[in-house]
Amino acid sequence: MAVDLFDLTGRRALVTGSSQGIGLALAHGLSAAGAEIVLNGRDETKLARAESAIAGSRRLAFDVTDHAAARAAVDRFEAEIGPIDILVNNAGMQHRAPLEEFPDEAFQRLLQTNIASVFNVGQACARHMIGRRAGKIINIASVQSALARPSIAPYTATKGAVANLTKGMATDWAKRGLQVNAIAPGYFDTPLNAALVADPAFSAWLEKRTPAGRWGKVEELVGACIFLASAASSFVNGHVLYVDGGITASL
């Protein structure tokens, strides 16, 4: 049956930054589709709470911005527990400031958290996936991969890089049996956007600017993630799937 193409039973998925927000929602969704979930984050308390909420999940705590730590953690997990079949590179951060006053230290943190982490964990997992000639990598990009707004130019640069790194990963690894794609969320009600959600003027602007006329709900990203993680997307590679209520389609 066609629905079987979306079944993730017997697959194991590592979701970075999965203690809250989009990462946690995707972890729940992949679990509901049958996958065993491996949670990652830096806050042990939040991770423990997420683990207790997702049956059969486990934690793999490491700093995604540390290349050596990511490789060691993934290598150890593969050797001691088993294969990671699906990677969702979700870890990310935001910092808002006028570009002419943007702190260098914040810019460096954005580069490490939003771009280097995708390379670090993606490479660590791909080395094992290549040996099996099978694997799914899903990077979380953004509407800011294609658009920009005031006060977030460095974030926009990092998400543009995630979109192009996704294409580069697919170009290198598709012939090795991997599918590497990205999901580009629009404006979703998450902890990362809490300040914007609380701003009536911004919400009013967003509702007018977005054809769907509202903020997205994190659960609305789950279908795209299951599709890209499953056999249903076996010939989809290097694609950036916008889930944005139409904001990138309309002026």
Which residues belong to the active site? 155
Measure the CA angle with vertex 233, ends 225 and 248; round to 5°. Answer: 55
CA 44/CA 158 separation, integer angstroms:
26
In 3-state terms the chain splits into helix, strand, coil percentages (rounded to 5) of 55, 15, 35
The SS3 call for residue 248 is coil
CB atoms within 10 A of CB 87: 29
| Amino acid at the residue 169 | M
CA 95/CA 158 separation, integer angstroms:
12
**Residues with Cβ within 8 Å of residue 75, at least 6 apart in sequence:** 124, 128
CA 102/CA 46 separation, integer angstroms:
30
